[in-house]
Amino acid sequence: MVERLTSNLPALKGRSVVSMMEWTPEEIIQLLNTAQWMKGNRDTVQSRGVLAGKHVALLFELPSTRTRVSFQVAISMLGAEPVWLDWGSSQLGRGESLEDTARVLSRYVDAIVVRAHRHETVQALRRYATVPVFNALTDRAHPFQVLADAMTIREELGGWSGIKLSYLGDGNNMAHSYLVIGAKLGMDITIATPEGYEPLSEIVQWARGEATLTGGSVTITGNPEQAVFGADVVATDVFVSMGDSGDLDRKRELMEAFQINRTRMQLAKPQAIFLHCLPAHRGEEVTADVIDGPQSKVFDQAENRLWVQMAGLAHTLGA
């Protein structure tokens, strides 16, 4: 069954996952269908060992809990071997070029999972590697996170068409990734940020164009109440991300007006769910009564990281 699921779209074989911009809606849905099946058939997946004999390098420049553990477990459950590489203790930390690193690792492993400060780092590794490269987070995109979020939304709300997802906070990699996945799956995406912290204009324009093809929409606003009103999904991220620079105290001060709290959640639909990619700072971007309340699905979405990563690996590296 695993083999049949992953063979439905042979074009995914050997593909990298750098941004979901490069994937069609049909490809994304197939990956999510595979992830859902794997979640319900864990023992079968683990017994098949569809990636037995393969090796996957994990090259992390940034700290990680969920991403590192979920990728290592996903790789192992599929029968492959994870090869951990700490950026600072590898030769990259002593100045070896990305080009040389990509070419050498391609001789040893079947795929490279990368977590890096700059999106250009992952793009460069993909350019020089001869094996698939998976983006495990950059300053521009967090593709596997929003795949997990899309999986959670379908589990809780039944689908994506006509779903209003409202994101409040920094126009960062999560805002970009919600724009991309929302446009691909026909959702109505609203991003609310303080002035000066909007998502990149080229991603907004791309998402608006894509949404015209899928029946979705894109709204950028500075009004958090307007953003949350009538939402099916309310999401946020930390106000200050890894690698942020500048006047961070001033940034936090501006972001305070975009906190998700009980009053704001009451503006959303009664069945609305709350999402956060974690780690969370209770009392900062979200209050404890929301993230620990009945509408919160943050631990379901965290679990779903495992399944979408497994599905991505199986589709791109499997038979």
305 is catalytic: yes
Q: Which of 309, 236, 245, 246 minimizes the C-alpha distance to 273? A: 236
Distances (CA, A) of 157 to 35, 50, 232, 271, 314: 17, 31, 8, 9, 26
Indicate the burial class of 288 (C-beta count within 10 angstroms; 0-12, 13-18, 19 or more): exposed
Sorted by sequence, the CB contacts under 8 Å of residue 316 that are 6+ apart come out as 12, 13, 14, 15, 16, 17, 111, 132
Residue 311 phi, psi (nearest 5): -65, -40
Query: How far apart (Å, rounded) are the C-alpha atoms in residues 99 and 217?
Result: 39
237 is catalytic: yes
- Give the start-end residues of each E strand in 76-183: 81-86, 111-115, 133-135, 164-168
145 is catalytic: yes
Distances (CA, A) of 79 to 16, 41, 68, 83, 115: 20, 15, 17, 13, 22
277 is catalytic: yes
**Lookup result for tokens 């999510």:** 32
Selecting among 30, 36, 72, 145, the annotated active-site residue is 145
Helix (H, G, I), strand (E, B) or coil at 200: coil
What is the side-by-side strand order in the sheet with 188-192?
Answer: 217-221, 188-192, 164-168, 233-236, 273-276
Selecting among 15, 154, 237, 315, the annotated active-site residue is 237
Selecting among 142, 154, 264, 315, the annotated active-site residue is 142
If you write DSSP's letter for every residue of 248-272 in order, what string do you get?
Answer: HHHHHHHHGGG-B-HHHHTTS-TT-
Q: Are 278 and 304 in contact (CB under 8 A)?
A: no
- Tell me the residue length of the chain: 319
126 is catalytic: no
Distances (CA, A) of 280 to 236, 251, 297: 9, 17, 13
Selecting among 154, 305, 309, 315, the annotated active-site residue is 305
115 is catalytic: yes
Selecting among 277, 295, 301, 309, the annotated active-site residue is 277
Active site residues: 115, 142, 145, 237, 277, 305
